[in-house]
Structure 1
Amino acid sequence: MNRKNLQLKLSFLVAPLLLIIMLVISCDKDEPTTSDPDGMTEEPDDPGDGNGGDHGSGDPGPTTGTITFEDGFTLDEDRRFTNLILSEVDYNSYLDETGNVQDITKKVYEYFDDDFDFIIILSNEADQPPGLYFGRHTPAKLDVQGLGGNTYNNTQAFGSTATLKGVLHMPRTRYIRNGPFLHEIVHYWANKNFIPTTVGGHWGFSSAGGQLGGFSTLTSLGNNTYQASMSGSNNFGTFANGGNSVPYGNVELYLMGLITTDELEDLQVAENPERTTNAGEFTATAITTYTAEDLITTHGERIPNSQDSQKDFNGLVVVISKAVLTDDEITSLNDDLENFTRAAAPDANTWGNSSNFWRATGGRASFNVTVVDGNIKGN
């Protein structure tokens, strides 16, 4: 395998993605790359300090119906999401990228035990805010070896003692169904330089063909020109592929710990790729094939392996808003969260071709967001 001509670009490549059902962007610019990441050393507030004392020491309230932790912070009676009401200034800070998700996670841990792998923050916007990402994953730790990145633990900065993997923020609740929900979840494991890419944190011009972009088939047109396709369409995304309509790709399943090393497929990566004006077409100086053996030799075996890896994940959903949610908003949220987390295919009438977590993993893993009494401090 010849890698001498490989020239990696370190900047994000933003290319037109014609015919893609939905463009989703995940920003990983805050992701630490060392065991002691810069800019992520803030210590969590002591839940026992400040107004109200230790919120975890008292009676959490009734175990049925809506639970009110404090004025403006409630757990819905169906237990699938919390609602945190913010001032207009604070709410808008999460739409202009000045808000800090750690402020919200620290509030969560005043009332909840450290039981959640992911905290999912949803703004309550009717339309996509101009210029804002569709979704962002802010990592708290990486405790899996063999993914291409360094392991680290920065959970204390979020108020977690060890469990939290990362925080997802999406500006609209409808993205539970349409995506990029699946996309942001898999960012915990990928792409952390597992293969070279010109699109940081994503699969770029490669045959990874999954939630983080890439193609599934590649045809040489001659003269260093190639036609790529994804899911039967003569086009593909370099950082996303059609929202939740695309299941996790082979390499994504491997990095998530859901398939064995023997099931990991070889990957093709374009060197010095450039889009042409035709959909799905690009030029490259070469196409390099990385075999599964190459990748495991370079990065080491995944630890834990697929036999011992985590398969069931817990998330806490926090809907931030400027006012109490309406009955219609609550109903829609519960319907979408029930569909996303069920261990079966989602409702075809409302979800169409969108996949939930169970279907996107081929039934190999589950994702739960239902709060039980034991998750609440004092129980």
Structure 2
Amino acid sequence: MRYLFNSVFGVFSARRLLALILLALMSGCSSVYVLPRVELTDHLKNFVVMKTSKTDFGANESRIIALSREFYRHYEDEFDLLVFMAHNPYRFMDQWEVGRRGTMNLVRNAEVGTGSSIVDVGGIFGSENRLRGVISLIHPDRIFTESMLLHEIMHLWYTDLEVIPTTMYSHWGFSSVGGQLGGFQQADIRSLGDGKYSAGNFAPQRAKTSVPYSPLEMYLAGWIPPEEVPDIWVAEDGSWLMRERSGGRPQHQTDAEGDRIFTASQISTWSIEKIIGKLGPRTPNFEQSQKEFRIAFVLVTDGEEPVKEEYLDATNLFIEEFTKKGPISTWFRNTSRDSLLNFWEATRGIATLDLGDLRSFRR
């Protein structure tokens, strides 16, 4: 299952959309491009509910823009992150595209020395000063499931600039970064000879289990000094070793432990000094960087299926546990078969998400 990410493409699409609107207005066209209709229906303590004709916003940038602009008609520009969650009672997980469960649209970035370019298209999304990114989730449970929200938040600092060589755009690929954006742990690397390797149960584009942000991810986000980032082993041209099957799909080849095998002919080691030489020093540094982020959640429905009270309660619980400034509640952790981490835990308690009472920010 792959994660798809559209921060860079989202930025350029937004610019094209703005250009289209301006062109239509300047030319006196009678048919001006109109954003999808959106209505905010409920103001709750920890999230709001919006209604639009389709919950396809994860694959439809114009709807993301419309949702964002409607949100800011009712709320002050006091949020770093907006998270739109699809009301998806029947759990149609591939309704946006096969494998697409979450996306990030990078809206604003003024930090240098990271994996993201300087950009500011906040006005298009209705935010004049503060909004940094808009995240879309296929279902509220993706706040925790597959560490989707942790993954997408990390894309604030890794979008379009190459940090280390990788075959997975804006992800760590076949490397020992071992964080939310993929890779494995250095201790798991096994050389099998003839340019073949295995490295445990990992994915090159996401974390297979809930893991804390890796040292490199923590550095790029501005939460630790560069001295805490270990050297990184990189298979620059890594790719899975597949076995052809007659009449069927290719199958991953595995080692004696059952771990998938990958091949590579270009192996390199990347120190943090080498990365800084490529990107430049991270500015602001870890002492001055932002570590508190205000976040708002929005449940988006198409209005065809009523939102049940238990669905609202579950969504509220996911939000409260994820933004908690402390460990996840033991009873909540025990309800899941998967390991769970909230944002505070994933950042080692260095960074926090501020939820507050959303209603206090109404215009």
- Fold-level similarity (TM above 0.5): yes
Aligned AA for 2:76?
A: D
Work out the CA distance in 1 between the residues paired with 2:232 and 2:21: 41
In the TM superposition, residue 343 of structure 1 has moved relative to its aligned partner by: 1.1
1:95 positional shift: 6.2
C-alpha spacing 1:361/1:98, structure 2 compared with 1 (3 Å): closer
1:188-337 paired onto structure 2 within 5 Å: 188-191=156-159, 192-217=161-186, 218-228=189-199, 234-242=200-208, 245-276=210-241, 277-278=253-254, 279-323=259-303, 324-337=306-319
Q: 1:99 to 1:123 in 2, by over 3 A?
A: farther
Amino acid at match of 1:75: H
Match of residue 88, structure 2, among 103, 118, 125 = 125
- The answer for the alignment partner of 2:30 in structure 1 is none
**Secondary structure of the structure 2 residue equivalent to 1:163:** coil
Q: CA deviation at 1:219?
A: 2.1
Deviation for aligned residue 1:41 = 3.7
Q: Give the secondary structure class of the aligned counterpart of 1:27.
A: coil
State the partner residue of 1:343.
Answer: 325
Q: Is residue 112–residue 375 contact of structure 1 (8 Å, CA) maintained in 2?
A: yes
SS of residue matched to 1:162: coil
Aligned CA-pair RMSD? 2.5
**1 CA distance for matches of 2:190 and 2:225?**
28
Q: Does residue 26 of the first structure (1) align with residue 4 of the second (2)?
A: yes
Query: What amino acid sits opposite 1:282 in the alignment?
Result: F
Report the Cα offset of residue 325 of structure 1.
Answer: 2.4
Which digits, 9 at most, give the CA deviation of each residue in 1:94-126, with x for residues without a partner? Answer: 366475200000001111111111110000113
How far apart in 1 are the matches of 2:167 and 2:296? 33
CA distance in 1, matches of 2:70, 2:328: 32
TM-score of the aligned structures, taking structure 1 as reference length: 0.78
Distance 1:99 1:335, change over 3 A: same
Q: Answer yes or no: is the 8 Å Cα contact 2:292–2:352 preserved in 1.
A: yes
- Give 1:238 shift: 0.8
The Cα shift of 1:29 comes to 6.1
Work out the CA distance in 2 between the residues paired with 1:187 and 1:71.
28
**Whole-Å separation in 2 of the counterparts to 1:156 and 1:43:** 15
Work out which of the residue numbers 66, 80, 83 in structure 1 matches 2:46: 80
Shift of 1:247: 1.6
Query: Which 5+ residue runs of structure 1 have no aligned equivalent?
Result: 1-22, 46-69, 229-233
| Percent identical residues | 27
Residue 196 of structure 1 deviates from its aligned partner by 1.6
What 5-or-longer segments of structure 2 have no aligned partner?
A: 23-37, 242-252
Partner AA of 2:127 in structure 1: S
2-structure distance, mates of 1:329, 1:173: 9
- 1:291-313 CA-to-partner distances (Å, cap 9, x unmatched) read 11111111111001000000011
CA deviation after TM superposition for structure 1 residue 253, in Å: 0.7
C-alpha contact (below 8 Å) 2:116/2:156 kept by paired residues: no
Residues of 2 paired with 1:332 and 1:223: CA distance?
50
CA deviations 1:121-143 (Å, max 9, x no partner) are 00011311353411000111221
Q: What letter is aligned with 2:101?
A: F
1:375 aligns with 2:361: yes
Query: Measured at CA, do residues 362 and 29 of structure 1 come closer, stay the same or move farther in structure 2, by a change above 3 Å?
Result: closer
Total equivalences in the alignment:
319
Task: Specify whether residues 43 and 102 from structure 1 end up closer, same or farther in structure 2 by C-alpha distance, changes over 3 A only.
Answer: farther
